[in-house]
Amino acid sequence: MLNSSLQQLGSALRARKISSVELTQLYLDRIAALNPALNAYVTTNGGTSLAQACAADALLAAGKAQPLTGIPIAQKDIFCAKGWRTTCGSKMLANFVAPYDAHVIAQFNNAGAVNLGKTNMDEFAMGSSNETSYFGAVKNPWDRNAVPGGSSGGAACAVAARLCAAATGTDTGGSIRQPAALCGISGIKPTYGTVSRYGMIAFASSLDQAGPMARSAEDLALLLNVMTGFDPRDSTSLPRDKEDYVRDLNKPLVGLRIGLPKEFFAEGLAQDVAGCVNAAIAEYKKLGATIVDISLPNSRLAVPVYYVLAPAEASSNLSRYDGVRYGYRAPEYSDLTEMYEKSRAQGFGAEVKRRIMIGTYVLSHGYYDAYYLQAQKIRRLIAQDFADAFKQCDVIMGPTSPSTAFNLGEKGDDPVQMYLSDIYTIAVNLAGLPGMSIPAGFGSNGRPVGLQIIGNYFAEALMLNVAHQYQLVTDSHHRAPQNIGL
């Protein structure tokens, strides 16, 4: 069962070959055995999960099952879930129990899925290695000396280690795609606004987007069917009709135009990653695709633009954590100002403080025009580069990350090197486009390599088709780490 697709699990549940309670208990037992070493989960609640599974079994018995009814899903700890501790990986929210469900959580509840628990993450989604979490670093199941990527590293680890059937993540600058690549799984960030941000703890509101993480594109399509949809509670939610993302999975790729940006294959890309990506491109040629050389000239500015805009939005969003209404409050203070100062100083970690200070600086009088407004102008140019590119091609491909997973602690003292881990993913968020990562082999050190697929706005069904057809003729997505008890 642990290596079954979501479709196979759904069929087994509907055929009563296994119950949701039995399947949920299987995963809970694995979490109990493996999570102490991997640290993928922050919170589990077996009683609540099994109660949901029991309710799902009743729906299955009554013939009222939906595709994901009874299937255990892990939720990134950035989504509020009623009655569940929701920490966002921070001391600031270490004891916060959400009083309501995020839209994403409600969608899965309505689909009859089982919430297995909340996965570890970089604090307030700020990081590329899952080392900034207040609850400790997550280990990569392929090599426990390596990082799993971030900020959705706990979710990626849980999927790769078979500690859940699938998981949710969020992507602000690559935080679904990069950990998916480093952990050898599939993950998609949909077009900005297609998944509601209601109840998703904000980092950078114009960039944050929720998406699914699973082992295959077929699984992602089923998950996206549940997650998407208009939500009037989110002002950025797009009023679009629901789509069936499974509909085009089996279309042939003859005539598909794949754009290869020269900027994605320049200096800085590891040779073993380039080799895997080029081999994947060769497979697409065999499937009937044609290659188009393109350029994204302003993509080189994506990282500096992102690290002006994202911290600026974070400094505003995180001002709500002041020790007054909820969250951590310093135990000792003499007046209100000192309570604010001590609560924030003690409640936030180093990376979060760094970004708040940068964001406050670029928004301050005298620097707003020089930094923030200039970054917004370049953001527009980056989006225009993609618009021009999609006049020549249907999808864009390249590496997801410039290297395979780096070692724990390797980049902790050099924030700039850490930030460059997202050099190929950030531009997609700045433009609001959909992007995904799928397994594309293994590097020279045996660690996974990810292939990034970027589509035009609302092209998720095409991207999933492109990924699925590749996965029908390759096996990287079926590979599992050793030492996980399979």
CB 226 within 8 A of CB 195: no
> What residue type is assigned to position 297 of the chain?
P
Q: Which residue is listed with tokens 């949920």?
A: 24
Q: Give residue for tokens 């959705």.
A: 152
* Residue 186 is a catalytic residue: no
From residue 393, how far is each of 288, 411, 470 by CA, in Å?
A: 14, 36, 18
Tokens found for residue 172: 């602000």
Helix axes 46-61, 20-38, angle to 10 degrees: 150
Can you give the C-alpha Rg of the chain in angstroms?
A: 21
- Which residue of the set 20, 49, 76, 476 is catalytic? 76
Within its chain, how far is the Cα of 215 from the centroid? 13
Give the residue carrying structure tokens 């609302």. 458
Q: Reduce the DSSP state of residue 281 to 3 states and report it.
A: helix
User: Which candidate, 115, 152, 146, places its Cα nearest to that of 133?
Assistant: 152
Return the H-helix or E-strand segment holding 259.
strand 257-261
- Beta-carbon neighbour count of residue 351 at 10 Å? 18
Task: Using DSSP, state whether 118 is helix, strand or coil.
Answer: strand
The tokens 């069917």 sit on which residue? Answer: 225
Q: Residues 6 or more apart from 35 whose CB is under 8 A from it?
A: 41, 44, 163
How far apart, in whole angstroms, are the C-alpha atoms of residue 463 and residue 67?
A: 21
| Angle in degrees, CA 265, 267, 273, rounded to 5 | 55
Active-site residue, from 151, 186, 315, 403: 151
Amino acid letter for position 355? R
**Residue carrying structure tokens 């180093």:** 350
C-alpha to C-alpha distance for 124 and 133, rounded to whole angstroms: 8
* Longest pairwise C-alpha distance within the chain: 71
CB 419 within 8 A of CB 304: no
Tally of CA atoms within 13 A in the half-sphere of 192 that contains its CB? 18
Instruction: Mention every residue, 6+ apart, whose C-beta is less than 8 A from residue 255.
Output: 288, 289, 290
Catalytic, 285? Answer no
Which one is catalytic: 19, 49, 175, 403?
Answer: 175
CA torsion 401-402-407-408 (nearest 10°) is: -50
Query: How does 51-76 read in b/e, with b if 16+ C-beta sit within 10 Å?
Result: ebbebbbebbeeeebbbbbbbbbbbb
Q: Tell me, yes or no, if 299 is annotated catalytic.
A: no
Q: What are the catalytic residues?
A: 76, 151, 175
